[in-house]
């Protein structure tokens, strides 16, 4: 704790809650979660800040709580970002190997990555990540490290996540307004996948779906690399809103009913009803539980179907052999994994942050996956920057490839 | 058929009883087309008591009187299901003693989609094998019906032992614009009915090379499987070659294209007493030339009833990867449109809506992006532009967009940036866009 570098903080400004997680990197490079702070979020809609002063206050509360719990002073954070404006796309870069002996040098590798990153973004957008996938040498795919190999034509795929610059800057400004530095911004879906998946699952191919309050973020790993990411600006708030509209109840009651009686599958709810007590001059009501569950089920089904459709279009649906992992507040919905299993046709489960040690109460909650993933991301970045002797560095590099900060 | 066509079966075995239950308007029409095939016990069932009363010559049941009050299910599968659940005992009683029950329905409407799984369950509980034979709606009937049909199909696959899925879209080239609609639909119903008859014979007759229920189930199984049943019969000298040629002309086979692309083919060849090994050999050699690399299973039946004739039945199954893509290829703007929804939710005769008139095509023509897409400034601009003289007709159409009818509740997202995904506003509750009825 004495070394400032060994403390890594992940901050997620979510639609329903702001969450700060403090992690400590020990000598062996393992991350230990030592503090968690959270606060209800009031200035965010659909993952984007709409009320900066309110959001600033919420972030302050969460940071203060985390500082107290971990007994550290937080100076910089890894900030999670999301929102409907984020896009993931995969671009291919090509580079001819010009040297006489056709040996691929480290420079060739850097050049081809540079070519792949050079994509035409809309002027108002900027890159968040550019993640290297596998190389192709003379048409031979799946090359992991081409330096030293022989070939005439080197290609590489890079997955680029980009978003609207101003909107990204909005959340950075909120953090900077609290005299905190933003070490790096990270896509929430990517962070969640880091927290949940072990290397075996990444190798097998897995889909991580983070169902938050305002957005649903997802990331697909195939053969150890990120193949696709995406954001749907639809989340738990939509479920609440649907229930409010469908059952004609206030949003507060809808939220409460969602948490207490919600289910992702309408099975078994037939004919049952819930008595709502009357208060504040509102008369009591009887709510049909089946309607409640079916409204919820349709919304969750739609979210999964939209993701399934997207993955089908990019041709990744058949590679999810490791299964589907659900996290975020949406993972609290009973039977959500069964619904996911029906839609994707592969085993689905609630994601657990297994690969990190620390406070059990924090690790067991699917809501914290993104913030914990941010800490993990930070630990990888620090190892990279430290120029590291440890073997973990090479592992981290092979997993994430080149990140652009 | 079952009395005289089990030559190799044990003498004491009772003949299998086959029951055919047609559900909904489409199912009833197909059952009506089947009447006159004595070994099949037919039962026509509909929620619409008035429609079924006109039917003559088959046993009929109007079910769900309490739920629908003798009217149709109004395109709502939930009502269809409730109606079938109400009279589940009736269905169970009807299936007692049957060894095989065909459940025939057109999916996408109310009665067929909702009741078919319930009826299949009832039949299975009474101890029969259940083979469902369902027609998927035409594409022009709209995305909503396609979606309902797919949902119903999923459910049906849980309940029935096997499901043969016949996409109506395949029959599109039958729909010659010059022929009268009545004739065309009689034709398509007859084709489906032929399919049912052929499958019934295949299953009840103990063949020389036998095909049983298990092989049929293996052929039609699959999450996104679609099947085509085609049959041809011919007599004469070069019948082995001629029968294949006739089969290839079958409208459902799309000039033999279907055979090439099919993943699983079930072929049954049947002949009269003089049916020889040479005949089978010739037929199969001829047919193999037209088939792709799909898995082919064949059977041969000697049926004394087929004196001097040769009959061939093919069940070709294609396992498509994602039918959802087809559904979504509809112009997505049409999905949430109240006008489109109104057309398909109209309470009269929803099941045969497409049989009677191609009405649902119409709303698509007038599709416009929904008004919430316009920012207030843009709306002001448009209004200002059309307030000028000389733009009266356009103004009229633009003003139409402002009708409160078109605006659906978005709850707390009223004032936030809309989430438009493939033209669909995801902020509008899913249950409203998908037309779920809360009763």
A107 near B CB under 8 A: no
- DSSP one-letter code for A318: G
Q: Does B427 touch chain A (CB under 8 A)?
A: yes
Better pLDDT: A78 or B248: A78
The pLDDT assigned to A281 comes to 67
Among the residue ranges A164-168, A328-332, B416-420, the one predicted with the least confidence is B416-420
Q: What percent of chain A has pLDDT over 70?
A: 92
Class of residue A279 by CB neighbours under 10 A (exposed 0-12, middle 13-18, buried 19+): exposed
The Cα A167–Cα A94 span in angstroms is 32
Please state the φ and ψ torsions of residue A186, each to the nearest 5 degrees: -135, 140
Please give the Cα distance from A211 to A329 (Å, whole number).
Answer: 6
B421 CB neighbours in chain A (<8 A) are 232, 306
- Judge contact between A319 and A221, C-beta under 8 A: no
Top-ranked range on mean pLDDT: pick from A346-350, B63-67, B68-72: A346-350
Residue A210 banded pLDDT, cuts 50, 70, 90:
very high
CB contact under 8 Å between A234 and B438, yes or no, is: no
What pLDDT does A18 receive? 94
Selecting from A237, A306, A309 the residue whose C-beta is nearest the C-beta of B412 gives A237
Residue percentage of chain B with pLDDT more than 70: 70
48-87 in A: which are within 8 Å (CB) of B? Answer: 50, 84
The tens digit of pLDDT for each residue in B212-251 reads 777 777 777 665 667 778 888 887 767 777 888 888 877 7
Which H or E run contains A351? none
Contacts of B436 in chain A (CB under 8 A): 294-295, 298
Q: Round to the nearest angstrom and report the end-to-end CA distance of chain B.
A: 47
To the nearest whole angstrom, how far is the Cα of A204 from the nearest Cα of chain B?
21
A317 interaction partners in chain B (CB closer than 8 Å): 321-322
For the CA atoms of chain B, what is the radius of gyration? 25
If pLDDT is split at 50, 70 and 90, which confidence band does B392 have? very low
The rounded distance, in Å, linking the Cα atoms of B26 and B48 is: 12
Measured from the Cβ of residue A98, the count of other Cβ atoms closer than 10 Å reads 10
Place of tokens 């030559």: B7
How many Å apart are CA B295 and CA A137, to the nearest integer? 37
Chain mean pLDDT for chain B = 71
CB A15 within 8 A of CB A213: yes
Task: Please tell me which residue of chain A has the smallest CA distance to B439.
Answer: A291
Instruction: Give the tens place of pLDDT for each residue, B250-302.
Output: 777 767 777 777 888 888 888 877 777 777 888 888 788 777 777 788 888 87
**What mean pLDDT is predicted for residues A316-327?**
92
Give residue A298's pLDDT: 92
pLDDT at B271: 80
Which of chain B's residues have a Cβ under 8 Å away from the Cβ of A45?
Answer: 413, 416
- Residue of B154, B325, B410, B426 best to disrupt the A interface, most CBs of A under 10 A: B426
Of residues B45 and A70, the one with the higher pLDDT is A70
pLDDT score, position A27: 79
What's the count of helices (H) and strands (E) in chain A, helices before strands? Answer: 12, 19
Candidates B255, B210, B224, B67; CA nearest to B150 is: B224
Question: Does any CB of chain A come closer than 8 Å to the CB of residue B324?
Answer: yes
Q: What is the pLDDT of residue B106?
A: 85
Asked if A241 lies within 8 A of B413 by C-beta distance, the reply is: yes
Instruction: Determine the 3-state secondary structure of B108 from DSSP.
Output: coil
Do the beta carbons of residue A152 and residue A130 sit within 8 Å? no
Give CA–CA dist B230/A159, Å, rounded.
48
B328, B421, B438 member nearest A246 (Cβ): B438
Q: Is the pLDDT of residue B204 over 90?
A: no
Contact A270, A290 (CB under 8 A): yes
A222 touching B (Cβ < 8 Å): no
Please report the pLDDT score of residue B351 as a whole number: 44
- Asked whether the beta carbons of residue A312 and residue B322 sit closer than 8 angstroms, the reply is yes
| The most confident of A115-124, A289-298, B187-196, B384-393, by mean pLDDT | A289-298
Task: State the pLDDT at residue B176.
Answer: 62
Maximum separation of any 2 CA atoms in chain A, in Å: 86
Tokens linked to B422: 């493939």
- Rounded mean pLDDT, A337-359: 87
Reduce the DSSP state of residue B320 to 3 states and report it: coil
- The Cα-based distances of A15 to A22, A39, A81, A296, B363 in angstroms read 20, 11, 11, 19, 38
CA distance B75 to B25: 11
Using CB atoms, which residue from B324, B416, B431 is nearest to A45? B416
Surface of B (244-273) touching A: CB under 8 A: none
Check CB contact under 8 Å for A294 and B436: yes
- The residue ranking higher by pLDDT, B139 or B403, is B139
pLDDT digits (tens, 9 = 90+) for A90-145: 889 999 988 888 899 999 999 998 888 888 888 888 889 889 898 999 989 888 88
d(CA B92, CA B79): 19
Average pLDDT (A14-40) is: 89
Cβ neighbourhood burial of A370 (10 Å; 0-12, 13-18, 19+): buried
Closest C-alpha among B92, B141, B143, B134 to residue B113: B134
In the A/B pair of chains, how many CB contacts fall below 8 A?
A: 78
B309 interfacial to chain A (CB closer than 8 Å)? no
pLDDT recorded at residue A278:
73
Q: CA B190, CA B31: separation in Å to the nearest integer? A: 9
Quick one: tokens of A58?
Answer: 């919420």
pLDDT: is B381 or A127 the higher one?
A127
- What confidence score (pLDDT) does residue B174 get? 60
User: pLDDT, tens digit, for every residue of A292-310?
Assistant: 999 999 999 999 999 999 9
Stretch B165-186: mean pLDDT, rounded?
69
pLDDT > 80? residue A193: yes
Mutate to test the interface with A, among B114, B143, B417, B431 (most CBs of A within 10 A): B431
Q: Does B16 score more than 80 pLDDT?
A: no
B432 close to A (CB below 8 A)? yes
Span B16-42, mean pLDDT?
Answer: 79
Chain A residue closest in CA terms to B329: A309
Specify the pLDDT at position A79.
95
Under 8 Å between Cβ of A327 and A208: yes
Confidence check: pLDDT of B59 > 80: no
pLDDT higher than 80, residue B6: no
pLDDT recorded at residue B428: 85
Do the Cβ atoms of B312 and B231 come closer than 8 Å? yes
Q: Do B430 and A317 touch (CB under 8 A)?
A: no
- Do A380 and A397 form a contact (C-beta atoms < 8 A)? no
Whether chain B has a CB inside 8 Å of the CB on A91: the answer is no
- Reported confidence tier of residue B173, pLDDT bands at 50, 70, 90: low
Q: How far is CA A155 from CA A229, A326, B72, in A?
A: 21, 33, 61
List C-alpha distances in Å: B296 to A386, B167, B193, B263, B311: 62, 21, 24, 8, 18
| A46 vs B: CB within 8 A | yes
Residues 6+ apart with CB under 8 A from B236: B242
Mean pLDDT of A337-366: 84
Q: Of B325, B410, B429, which has the smallest distance from its Cβ to A312's Cβ?
A: B325
pLDDT attached to residue B320:
62
pLDDT reported for residue B206 = 73
Contact A305, B420 (CB under 8 A): no
Length of chain B equals: 439
Q: Do B436 and A238 touch (CB under 8 A)?
A: no
User: Is residue A297 within 8 angstroms of chain B, CB to CB?
Assistant: no
Instruction: Judge if pTM exceeds 0.80.
Output: no
> Higher-confidence residue: A374 or B160?
A374
**Min Cα–Cα distance to chain B from A242, Å:** 5
B319-371 pLDDT, tens digit each: 765 444 333 333 333 333 333 333 333 343 344 444 444 444 444 444 554 55
- Interface touch A242/B409, C-beta < 8 Å: no
pLDDT score, position B9: 39
Chain B CB contacts of A304 under 8 Å are none
Q: What's the confidence (pLDDT) of residue A71? A: 92
In a 13 Å sphere around the CA of A79, the CA atoms on its Cβ side amount to 24
Q: Average pLDDT of B381-403?
A: 52
pLDDT at A123: 86
pLDDT digits (tens, 9 = 90+) for A235-273: 999 999 999 888 888 888 899 999 999 899 888 777 788
Nearest CA in chain B to A85: B419
Strand partners, A230: A218
Q: What is the pLDDT of residue B404?
A: 45
Least confident interval from A52-61, A205-214, B92-101, B337-346:
B337-346
Please calculate the CA angle B184-B189-B193 and round it to the nearest 5 degrees. Answer: 145
What pLDDT score does A20 carry? Answer: 94
Tell which A residues from 226 to 285 touch B, by Cβ distance under 8 Å.
Answer: 232-234, 237-238, 240-242, 244-246, 251
Nearest CA in chain A to B324: A309
Instruction: Please state, in angstroms and rounded to a whole number, the distance separating the CA atoms of residues B400 and B409.
Output: 18
Residue pair A363/A23 in contact by the 8 Å Cβ criterion: no
pLDDT at B364: 44
Nearest CA in chain B to A248: B411
Q: How many CB atoms sit inside 10 A of residue A202's CB? A: 20
Average pLDDT, chain A: 87
pLDDT confidence band for A66 (50 / 70 / 90):
very high
């Amino acid at each position: 704790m004495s070394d400032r570098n060994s403390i890594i903080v992940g901050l997620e400004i979510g639609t329903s809650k702001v969450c700060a997680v403090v992690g400590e990197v020990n000598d062996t490079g393992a991350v230990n979660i030592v503090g968690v702070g959270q606060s209800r979020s009031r200035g965010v809609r659909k993952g984007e800040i709409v009320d900066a002063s309110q959001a600033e206050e919420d972030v302050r509360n969460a940071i203060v709580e985390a500082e107290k719990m971990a007994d550290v002073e937080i100076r910089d954070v890894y900030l999670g970002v999301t929102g409907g404006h984020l896009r993931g796309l995969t671009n291919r870069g090509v580079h001819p190997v010009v040297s006489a002996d056709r040996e691929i040098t480290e420079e060739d590798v850097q050049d081809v990555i540079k070519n792949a990153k050079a994509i035409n973004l809309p002027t108002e957008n900027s890159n968040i990540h550019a993640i290297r996938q596998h190389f192709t040498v003379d048409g031979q795919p799946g090359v992991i490290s081409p330096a030293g190999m022989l070939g005439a034509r080197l290609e590489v795929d890079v997955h680029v996540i980009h978003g609207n610059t101003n909107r990204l800057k909005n959340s950075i400004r909120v953090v900077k307004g609290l005299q905190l530095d933003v070490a790096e911004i990270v896509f929430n879906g990517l962070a969640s996948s880091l927290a949940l998946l072990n290397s075996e699952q990444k190798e097998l191919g897995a889909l991580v779906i983070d169902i938050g309050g305002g957005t649903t973020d997802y990331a697909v790993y195939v053969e150890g690399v990120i193949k696709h990411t995406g954001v749907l600006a639809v989340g738990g708030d939509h479920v609440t809103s649907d229930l409010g509209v469908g059952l004609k109840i206030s949003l507060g009651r809808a939220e409460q009913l969602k948490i207490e009686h919600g289910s992702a599958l309408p099975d078994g709810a037939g004919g049952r009803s819930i008595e709502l007590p009357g208060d504040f001059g509102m008369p009591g009501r009887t709510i049909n539980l089946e309607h409640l569950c079916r409204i919820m089920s349709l919304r969750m089904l739609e979210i999964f179907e939209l993701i399934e459709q997207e993955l089908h279009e990019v041709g990744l649906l058949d590679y999810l052999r490791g299964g589907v992992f659900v996290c975020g507040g949406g993972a609290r919905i009973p039977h959500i994994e069964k619904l996911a299993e029906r839609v994707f046709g592969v085993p689905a489960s609630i994601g657990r942050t297994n690969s990190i040690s620390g406070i059990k109460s924090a690790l067991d909650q699917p809501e914290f996956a993104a913030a914990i993933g941010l800490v993990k991301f930070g630990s990888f970045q620090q190892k990279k920057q430290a120029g590291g002797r440890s073997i973990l560095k090479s592992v981290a590099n092979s997993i994430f490839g080149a990140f652009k900060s | 058929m079952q009395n005289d066509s089990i030559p190799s079966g044990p003498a004491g075995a009772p003949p299998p009883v086959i029951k055919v239950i047609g559900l909904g308007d489409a199912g009833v029409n197909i059952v009506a087309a089947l009447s006159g095939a004595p070994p099949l016990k037919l039962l026509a069932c509909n929620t619409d008591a008035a429609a079924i009363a006109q039917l003559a010559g088959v046993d009929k049941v109007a079910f769900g009187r309490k739920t629908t009050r003798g009217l149709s299910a109004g395109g709502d599968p939930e009502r269809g299901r409730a109606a079938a659940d109400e009279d589940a005992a009736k269905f169970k009683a009807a299936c007692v003693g049957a060894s095989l029950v065909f459940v025939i329905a057109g999916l996408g409407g109310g009665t067929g989609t909702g009741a078919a799984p319930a009826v299949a369950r009832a039949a299975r509980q009474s101890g029969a094998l259940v083979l469902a034979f369902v027609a998927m709606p035409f594409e022009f009937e709209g995305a909503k019906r396609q979606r309902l049909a797919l949902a119903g199909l999923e459910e049906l696959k849980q309940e029935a032992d096997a499901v043969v899925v016949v996409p109506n879209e395949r029959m599109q080239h039958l729909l010659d614009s010059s022929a009268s609609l009545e004739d065309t639909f009689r034709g398509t119903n007859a084709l489906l009915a032929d399919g049912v008859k052929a499958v019934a014979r295949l299953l009840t007759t103990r063949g020389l090379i036998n095909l049983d229920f298990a092989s049929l189930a293996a052929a039609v199984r699959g999450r996104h499987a679609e099947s085509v049943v085609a049959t041809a019969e011919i007599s004469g000298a070069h019948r082995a070659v001629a029968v294949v040629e006739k089969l290839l002309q079958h409208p459902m086979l799309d000039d033999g294209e279907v055979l090439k692309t099919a993943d699983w083919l079930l072929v049954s060849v049947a002949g009269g007493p003089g049916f020889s090994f040479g005949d089978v050999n010739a037929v199969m050699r001829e047919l193999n030339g037209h088939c792709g690399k799909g898995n082919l299973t064949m059977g041969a039946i000697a049926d004394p009833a087929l004196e001097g004739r040769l009959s061939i039945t093919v069940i070709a199954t294609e396992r498509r990867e994602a039918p959802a893509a087809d559904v979504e290829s509809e112009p997505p703007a049409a999905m949430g449109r109240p006008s489109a929804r109104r057309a398909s939710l109209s309470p009269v005769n929803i099941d045969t809506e497409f049989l009677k008139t191609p009405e649902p095509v119409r709303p698509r023509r007038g599709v416009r992006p929904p008004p919430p897409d316009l920012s207030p400034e843009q709306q002001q601009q448009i209004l200002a532009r059309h307030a000028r003289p000389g733009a009266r007709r356009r103004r009229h159409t633009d003003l139409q967009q402002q009708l409160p009818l078109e605006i659906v509740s978005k709850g707390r997202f009223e004032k936030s940036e809309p989430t438009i995904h493939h033209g669909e506003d995801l902020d509008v509750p899913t249950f409203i866009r998908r037309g779920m009825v809360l009763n």
